[in-house]
Amino acid sequence: MRSLACLAAGECARVRAVVSEDAMRRRLMELGFVEGTRVRCALRGPPGGPAAYWVRGAMIALRRADARSIWVSADS
Amino acid sequence: MKRSRSNNAAGAPRASVALGGNPNVGKSTVFNALTGLRQHTGNWAGKTVAVARGAYTYRRRRYAVVDLPGTYSLSARSAEEEVARDFLLSGQADAAVIVCDATCLERSLRLVYQTMALTRRVIVCVNLLDEARRLGLCPDLAALGRRLGVPVVGMSARTGEGVGALMEAVRAVTEGEIVPAPVLPALPPGPEDERARALAAAAEEAARVCLPVCPDPSGHRLRRRLDTLFMGRRTGAALMLALLCLVFWITLAGANVPSRLLGTLLLSAQEPLRAGLAALGAPLWLCEALTAGVWRTLAWVVSVMLPPMAIFFPLFTLLEDFGYLPRAAFTLDRHFCRAKACGKQALTMCMGWPDLFGGYRAAPSTARMTLSVHSSNTGSGVCMNSLAR
C-alpha cells in the first residue's frame, strides 16, 4: 500500500482507504474516492503543486497533502 | 404534490422551480435558456452565495426559477451546499431540476440521489448531450428514467435543444400530471463510509444503465495533449502568462480608441448642458456643480471604465467556456497555497483587473483587487475539483 501522491502520471491504482480528518475525508469520498474505486493519475502539475486524477469518469485535482491521505494498492 | 395541487385549486399563477447541479455542468446555460436572462453565475470562491432568480411563462403559467449554487453534495458543509440544501428542504420549490453532465453522468447522479432523498419532485436534466455525442456517447435516457423513477430530459442548453421538453416536464410535475416516484438505493444506517460507498455504487450502476458502453473520457487524445500542455510542469505557467498578456493586450489596445471617442462625445455634451441649465434659470453654482462636477466625472468614469470592461469580460467568458479557468487555477494553486488561499482565487483576482486598469488610468487604486482576495473563503483543501470540463 502507498499513497495516491506516489502515483506517476499515467499510473493506475485502486483506493483502499481515505485517512484525512473527518470533513476532508467525507469530501473526498463524495468526489468518488471510495474504497475499491479505480483511479489514474492524469497529470502531475508543477513541483509541489497539485496533481490531477481520473476518478469515476471525472478529472479531479488534489493537493499533495490531500493525495497523501488516500491509500491505494496496485490495480490488478 | 399536495402543494402544487392546492396552488392550482387556488388558481395561483406561479410555480417555483429550483435548479441544482454540480458546478460546471452548464447549469447557468440551462437557467438562461429557460429564462432568457443573461446572467452570470460562477462558483469561484469569493463570490457571494446568492441564488439567482428568473422567470418564464409556459402555457400561460408563470414559473419562477431559482438557480441554486453548484454543489457536489448536499451535506451542508460549505455555504453553497447549505444554501442548496436549505432551499430544497424548505419546500419552497414545486419541482427541483437537477442538471447533469452527460459526459460525466456518474458524478451528477450522486447529487441526484441525494436530492431525491430530500424531495420527491425531482426532474433530471441531462445536459451537454451535444458534447457527449461528440465523444461518441449516446445515453439511454429512458432507461435512466425507469431506474431513477423520475422524469429524465435530455438537453444541450447551448443550442437550445431540449428546452421545450424540460419546460413540459416541469409543467407536468408541478401540475401533478406526473408524480415522480424516486427509487432510492438502500443506504445502510451504519457509519458514513458505508453510506458513501453505497451511494457511489448506486450512482455507478445507474450511470451504467444509461451508458452501457462508456469509453474512458481520459482516452480523448487531443484533450489529453492540450491538458498536458496547459497544465504541464514547464509549459503551464508560461502558457498562462502568455494567454493573460494576450488578453490584457487586446483589452488595453482595443479600449484606447473607443475610450477616446466616448470621452470626446460625452464631454462635448458638457457645454450644451450648461447652456441648457442656464436657460432654465438655474443659479450659477448649480450649473457648475452639475456640469463641471457631476457630468464631467460621469463622462470620465464611463469613458475610461466601460470599453476595457466590455472587452475583458467577454474574453474571460471565452476562456471560461473553453474550460481554461480551472486549469489556470491548477497551475497557480501552489503559489496561492503559500498565502493560505487556493488557486481558484486567482480568477476572482483576474475579474478585478479591468477595474485595476481603469484605476491606473484614472487614479491608482487597487481597492477592488484586495477586496476580492479578502472576501474569498480560505481553508478548503479540495480546490479545483471541477476539472472535468
Q: Note whether A29 contacts B: Cβ–Cβ < 8 A.
A: yes
For residue A41, is pLDDT > 60? yes
Pairwise CA distance, residues B169 & B97, whole Å? 10
Q: Nearest-CA residue of chain B relative to A45?
A: B233
Q: What pLDDT, on a 0 to 100 scale, did the predictor assign at position B165?
A: 96
Strands in B52-58's sheet, in edge-to-edge order, are: B52-58, B61-67, B14-21, B95-101, B122-127, B152-154
Mean pLDDT across chain A: 87
User: How many pairs of residues across A and B have Cβ atoms under 8 Å apart?
Assistant: 123
Q: Note whether A62 contacts B: Cβ–Cβ < 8 A.
A: yes
Ordered mean pLDDT values, 10 residues apiece, chain B (389 residues): 40 79 84 75 50 86 88 81 88 93 88 93 93 85 95 91 95 94 86 82 90 66 82 86 91 90 90 89 87 90 90 84 80 79 65 45 28 26 35
Q: Which residues of A touch B106 (CB under 8 A)?
A: 32, 56-58
Q: Which segments of chain B are extended strands (E)?
A: 14-21, 52-58, 61-67, 95-101, 122-127, 152-154
Pairing of the two strands B95-101 and B14-21: parallel
Q: What pLDDT, on a 0 to 100 scale, did the predictor assign at position B359?
A: 35
For residue A16, is pLDDT > 60? yes
Q: Nearest-CA residue of chain A relative to B230?
A: A45
* Cβ–Cβ under 8 Å, residues A47 and B232: no
Determine whether the interchain pair A30/B72 forms a contact, defined as Cβ–Cβ distance below 8 Å.
yes
Q: Which residues of A touch B227 (CB under 8 A)?
A: 42-43, 52, 59
* Cβ–Cβ under 8 Å, residues B57 and B357: no
How many angstroms away from the CA of A53 is the closest CA of chain B? Answer: 10
- The angle formed by the CA atoms of residues A37, A67 and B195, to the nearest 5 degrees, is 40
DSSP per residue, B280-319: TT--HHHHHIIIIIIIHHHHHHHHHHHHHHHHHHHHHHHH
Q: What pLDDT, on a 0 to 100 scale, did the predictor assign at position B187?
A: 80
Q: What pLDDT, on a 0 to 100 scale, did the predictor assign at position B21?
A: 92
Residue A2: which pLDDT band, with cuts at 50, 70 and 90? very high
Cell numbers standing for residue B138:
449516446
Determine whether the interchain pair B388/A58 forms a contact, defined as Cβ–Cβ distance below 8 Å.
yes
Pairwise CA distance, residues B386 & B323, whole Å? 10
Mean pLDDT of A59-64: 86
* Cβ–Cβ under 8 Å, residues B108 and B101: yes
How many angstroms away from the CA of A39 is the closest CA of chain B? Answer: 11
